[in-house]
Chain A
């Protein structure tokens, strides 16, 4: 049995309570949501914290998927499984279910949360790639109830680093809703439940035959999950076609920065960035059309 170093533990009773604890305890404390990223690191003693603040009792407050007229709002404590099973997301953004089906396993999905996934800021995190693809906004709350909203680009500031300060908490993700959308996700893994060798998300917005906007997000090919603005620029105003997907794939391969590791060589990952970009764009367009 792997055992973590000693720590103290408290359950937060409200978001403000959690923030006041964070304010008091500073960098020696960590929020714990699903715990599926934090606890493995603590058990391996790669991370040691003096205090854990458990926010699972806030699921009533922070666990939801709500559809508004021009955005979908998701609470930070919404669990993988709830995202997988959400009819709202299935209708608006099937990319979520695509991704959730290949994230970890049912045990992890029953506990792990959207907020924890984004705040972990692992370069291979699938939901970060999904949120990047969908141009999500992250709502961060700090002391005194002050809230700020940041884009995914600004949210992740490096591997395992986010814009969330020591006394702040991520409370909500907002996904803009525009008409004519299709989205899809694809991942290559060495084994079911493994982290991505590479994964890609794509979303397109069609008007008539033409692409109004398109976004691609990649995981595991750089310091953070990356959006690729050059693809959006190349696809806007074009009719979907195989050669367009080829072009997007080539841009994806060029713009990413993978490293060789146990999961695969940098060349292979670059190849996958192209291949999965093509596949997800193709799928997203099919879905937008149907």
Chain B
């Protein structure tokens, strides 16, 4: 159950309109609810073979030899392939999304536990899996680098000896802001607070693991690849580059996807192996990883070791924020981020506050852990940034003895300051923070909660109230400075209206559960007046959709949503000209009202969009210079990112005897600009808040000192269930984006970004009687108990 609070004075929900925005059941749900979804693992092709991957049992070792003879002789086995064999075709290595390289199959060394070493193709997945046990690999085990803090020590084992001239485990350095200016404000500040924080390695753990079916037709040279990808077009181009296949002969199909959260952005070795296997065997080949493979080898998230520092005046005016970050990128830098942004959008660590100076210095290192780096609904590292700023603002409030809500309210960027350029160079498009914050406080009954807390404290009970206020930067991005491996981050959209007035819209982005088939139909409906039910949304098939970079970083609505609105306007412009011919008036004399043009001042003389569609395709003359048909295509290049914001308040209770944390209430007020389908927005928020409970209280991919992954199953890597989360209380304000055609901002990751600091702040607040100022995630009972005894430790 959910309580929804609406701020009616700023926005009217649009339920009443015949078309367009408003609450509407999702068009895709009947398919999912009836078990008719079609996922990669549902693809069955005649003669299809199955692929299984042999993975390294150790974190760091030289491969001495691989004997595949017994596996080759195993019943049902068609091929066994090693890195050495791929190397002959120049396919043993592939580029990562961060311009690094990653082994498809290890040739020289294995560099993390779970790394791909060889694969077997067999008649069924049992035979393939059984044959893996028969491959004999001799490893010369090397010391691993597990603790990122020690990766740059002079005697640390060298991980990336494959890179020419590499002598240490340094991955990259990055900085932003003004170091000297920041130093100056820190020097004159009344109060400086600094705090070490760890955002541990976590995993998106989508319900559907990654997989692919590759079907290469040697006769026409065409490769069809069904794969679990959030970015089918980008993948197609990369396959063309990696495998040297002509791009027009590659069709990537991303069917229904069972959750992505960033996990399905990268190209994994398994996809490439499936392609190679299909080429080698001449048969379609399916590879579906199992749960453990997903958890140990695919894109993890976070793994930032941070020091946050904040400077302020005694009366609570924040002057500057400074941070130093050590980033663990695993064995290969597989981070998905625009090329100029190796640390993603971490630069927004200045948060929602009007400050004088900021500076960040980051060092990224290689370790013997799985690659990845940006995943799990983080908006390109904004999760880490928001956690940092919202945690240290609370530390400052504690130091000043000030209420954390009051401290935030005092320092917000003011509405008239937008567009606001931050001290790290980000241009926040719009925002009106105080009403959002006040609404959250009102919904929470903030003052009453503080009274209750005081009473409980007097009785020895532990109750905490945590606040987080976030600003995100989503919708990457303007092609002038954002690209991934040289591909600009613009998105295409194509709209065709059929003769009977039904329409099909083709997108470059791909839903993994976000409800695109509904939201995009609603966007188009709002613009051209065809009801959403009459608009088919096609996505996920590169042969049938225009080019674009896909769905991640909350970019679908900011980028593709804009494209959908603009392409619909383009069609409407053409419809207007055709209507002027039909009504025999000039275009200037026509007025548009949801679904029809009428003659200004004479509403009786009108033609509907359906009438126009028929005329566009039918007999009879069209106005001079107008072609038949009613369709358009565009490519949208966003002029800026969009900056959604939100105020979250969390209430926790802690059992003083067992140190177990219960999230009693969670109030989430989101401002994502114009709201297209409020039900879908709430769904996104609910999911993200649940993610946040997971990260704050239980999730962590841990390693032992040998580099064994301790989170290789869902019994070990815990994700929350409905029993760990409260009834979410959601509300909203609306501050449209000024540069987005319909004023919408992304919301897909807001709650994942905003909720962890709110929960941690609440737990730390509850532990105040023990003198606790900070405790790192995951706040498991054992770790909370440590904190209660003054022994809070970082998790790594």
Residues of chain A having any CB pair with chain B under 8 Å: 1-3, 5-6, 40, 44-45, 188, 190-195, 197, 262-265, 268-269, 271-272, 275-276, 279
User: Of the 9-residue stretches B286-294, B329-337, B436-444, which lies at the interface with chain A?
Assistant: B286-294
Contact between chains at B698 and A2 (CB < 8 Å): no
User: Of the 9-residue stretches B4-12, B571-579, B604-612, B709-717, which lies at the interface with chain A?
Assistant: B709-717
Contact between chains at B724 and A191 (CB < 8 Å): yes
Query: Among B660, B697, B698, B718, which residue has its beta carbon within 8 angstroms of that of A188?
Result: B660
Query: Using Cβ atoms and an 8 Å threshold, which residues of chain A touch B713?
Result: 44
Cα–Cα, bound, A190→B780 (Å): 6
Contact between chains at A191 and B781 (CB < 8 Å): no
User: Of the 9-residue stretches B122-130, B197-205, B359-367, B469-477, which lies at the interface with chain A?
Assistant: B122-130
Interface flag for B588 (CB, 8 Å): no
Known: A195-B715, A262-B702. A190 touches B781 (CB 8 A): yes
Known: A5-B130, A6-B126, A264-B782. A191 touches B292 (CB 8 A): no
Contact between chains at A1 and B718 (CB < 8 Å): no
Known: A191-B698, A191-B724, A193-B721. A268 touches B126 (CB 8 A): no
As a 0/1 sequence over residues 114 to 154 of chain B, the CB contacts with chain A under 8 angstroms (1 = contact) are 00000000000110011001000000000000000000000
As a 0/1 sequence over residues 695 to 715 of chain B, the CB contacts with chain A under 8 angstroms (1 = contact) are 001100010000000100101
A104 to chain B, nearest CB (A): 11
Contact between chains at A268 and B291 (CB < 8 Å): no
Cα–Cα, bound, A191→B697 (Å): 9
Query: Using Cβ atoms and an 8 Å threshold, which residues of chain A touch B718?
Result: 190-191, 194
Query: Using Cβ atoms and an 8 Å threshold, which residues of chain B touch A190?
Result: 697-698, 718, 780-781
Contact between chains at A275 and B658 (CB < 8 Å): yes
Contact between chains at B292 and A2 (CB < 8 Å): yes
Contact between chains at A264 and B781 (CB < 8 Å): yes
CB-CB nearest in chain B for A198: B658
Contact between chains at A188 and B658 (CB < 8 Å): yes
Cα–Cα, bound, A276→B721 (Å): 24
Cα–Cα, bound, A186→B292 (Å): 31
Known: A195-B715, A264-B782, A272-B658. A2 touches B290 (CB 8 A): yes
Contact between chains at B288 and A1 (CB < 8 Å): yes
Contact between chains at A279 and B657 (CB < 8 Å): yes
Interface flag for B723 (CB, 8 Å): yes
Interface flag for B581 (CB, 8 Å): no
Interface flag for B95 (CB, 8 Å): no
As a 0/1 sequence over residues 762 to 796 of chain B, the CB contacts with chain A under 8 angstroms (1 = contact) are 00000000000000000011100110000000000
As a 0/1 sequence over residues 277 to 311 of chain B, the CB contacts with chain A under 8 angstroms (1 = contact) are 00000000000101110000000000000000000
Cα–Cα, bound, A45→B130 (Å): 10
Known: A1-B290, A2-B290. A192 touches B658 (CB 8 A): no
Query: Using Cβ atoms and an 8 Å threshold, which residues of chain B touch A275?
Result: 657-658
CB-CB nearest in chain A for B293: A2
Contact between chains at B291 and A2 (CB < 8 Å): yes
Query: Using Cβ atoms and an 8 Å threshold, which residues of chain A touch B697?
Result: 190
User: 4 closest A-B pairs (Cβ-Cβ)?
Assistant: A264-B782, A192-B723, A268-B782, A2-B290
CB-CB nearest in chain A for B41: A1
B112 to chain A, nearest CB (A): 19
Query: Using Cβ atoms and an 8 Å threshold, which residues of chain A touch B659?
Result: 268
Query: Using Cβ atoms and an 8 Å threshold, which residues of chain A touch B781?
Result: 188, 190, 197, 264, 268
Query: Using Cβ atoms and an 8 Å threshold, which residues of chain B touch A2?
Result: 290-292
Cα–Cα, bound, A265→B130 (Å): 38
Interface flag for B258 (CB, 8 Å): no
Cα–Cα, bound, A41→B660 (Å): 29
A-B contact pairs, 28 of them (CB 8 A): A1-B125, A3-B126, A3-B290, A5-B130, A40-B715, A44-B292, A44-B713, A45-B133, A188-B660, A190-B698, A190-B718, A190-B780, A191-B718, A191-B720, A191-B721, A192-B724, A194-B715, A194-B718, A195-B715, A197-B782, A262-B710, A262-B716, A263-B780, A264-B780, A265-B786, A268-B781, A271-B785, A279-B657
CB-CB nearest in chain B for A275: B657
Query: Using Cβ atoms and an 8 Å threshold, which residues of chain A touch B291?
Result: 2
Cα–Cα, bound, A268→B125 (Å): 44
For chain B, residues 155 to 186, give those with C-beta under 8 angstroms from any C-beta of chain A.
none
Query: Among A3, A192, A263, which residue has its beta carbon within 8 angstroms of that of B129?
Result: A3
Query: Among B129, B720, B785, which residue has its beta carbon within 8 angstroms of that of A268?
Result: B785
Cα–Cα, bound, A1→B125 (Å): 9
- A sample of 12 more A-B contacts (CB under 8 A), given A190-B781, A191-B720, is A2-B290, A3-B125, A188-B658, A191-B698, A191-B723, A192-B721, A197-B782, A262-B702, A268-B659, A268-B781, A275-B658, A279-B657
A19 to chain B, nearest CB (A): 30
Cα–Cα, bound, A268→B721 (Å): 24
Cα–Cα, bound, A44→B714 (Å): 12
Query: Using Cβ atoms and an 8 Å threshold, which residues of chain A touch B658?
Result: 188, 272, 275-276
B37 to chain A, nearest CB (A): 17
CB-CB nearest in chain B for A261: B710
For chain B, residues 638 to 696, give those with C-beta under 8 angstroms from any C-beta of chain A.
657-660
Cα–Cα, bound, A206→B718 (Å): 41
Cα–Cα, bound, A192→B719 (Å): 10
B292, B659, B720: residue with the most chain A Cβ atoms closer than 10 Å? B659
Query: Using Cβ atoms and an 8 Å threshold, which residues of chain A touch B724?
Result: 191-192
Query: Using Cβ atoms and an 8 Å threshold, which residues of chain B touch A45?
Result: 133
Query: Using Cβ atoms and an 8 Å threshold, which residues of chain B touch A1?
Result: 125, 288, 290
Cα–Cα, bound, A265→B795 (Å): 12
As a 0/1 sequence over residues 716 to 741 of chain B, the CB contacts with chain A under 8 angstroms (1 = contact) are 10101101100000000000000000
B727 to chain A, nearest CB (A): 16
Query: Using Cβ atoms and an 8 Å threshold, which residues of chain A touch B288?
Result: 1
Cα–Cα, bound, A268→B657 (Å): 11
A276 to chain B, nearest CB (A): 8
Cα–Cα, bound, A5→B125 (Å): 11
For chain B, residues 441 to 463, give those with C-beta under 8 angstroms from any C-beta of chain A.
none
Query: Using Cβ atoms and an 8 Å threshold, which residues of chain B touch A6?
Result: 126, 130
A44, A190, A197, A272: residue with the most chain B Cβ atoms closer than 10 Å? A190
Cα–Cα, bound, A192→B723 (Å): 7
Cα–Cα, bound, A2→B291 (Å): 7
Cα–Cα, bound, A57→B740 (Å): 64
CB-CB nearest in chain B for A193: B721
Cα–Cα, bound, A181→B74 (Å): 61
A201 to chain B, nearest CB (A): 16
Query: Using Cβ atoms and an 8 Å threshold, which residues of chain B touch A279?
Result: 657
Query: Using Cβ atoms and an 8 Å threshold, which residues of chain B touch A44?
Result: 292, 713
CB-CB nearest in chain B for A266: B782
Cα–Cα, bound, A269→B786 (Å): 12
B55 to chain A, nearest CB (A): 13
Cα–Cα, bound, A102→B698 (Å): 18
Cα–Cα, bound, A192→B133 (Å): 35
A180 to chain B, nearest CB (A): 27
For chain B, residues 72 to 127, give those with C-beta under 8 angstroms from any C-beta of chain A.
125-126
Query: Using Cβ atoms and an 8 Å threshold, which residues of chain A touch B292?
Result: 2, 44
Cα–Cα, bound, A265→B724 (Å): 22
B236 to chain A, nearest CB (A): 27
B130, B291, B658, B713: residue with the most chain A Cβ atoms closer than 10 Å? B658
B206 to chain A, nearest CB (A): 15
Cα–Cα, bound, A272→B782 (Å): 10
Contact between chains at A263 and B782 (CB < 8 Å): yes
Cα–Cα, bound, A3→B50 (Å): 13
Cα–Cα, bound, A269→B130 (Å): 40
Cα–Cα, bound, A6→B515 (Å): 41
Cα–Cα, bound, A275→B785 (Å): 12
A41 to chain B, nearest CB (A): 11
A246 to chain B, nearest CB (A): 12
B129, B697, B716, B782: residue with the most chain A Cβ atoms closer than 10 Å? B782
Cα–Cα, bound, A268→B658 (Å): 9
Cα–Cα, bound, A254→B92 (Å): 56
Cα–Cα, bound, A104→B659 (Å): 21
Query: Using Cβ atoms and an 8 Å threshold, which residues of chain A touch B786?
Result: 265, 268
CB-CB nearest in chain A for B126: A3
A45, A188, A191, A263: residue with the most chain B Cβ atoms closer than 10 Å? A191
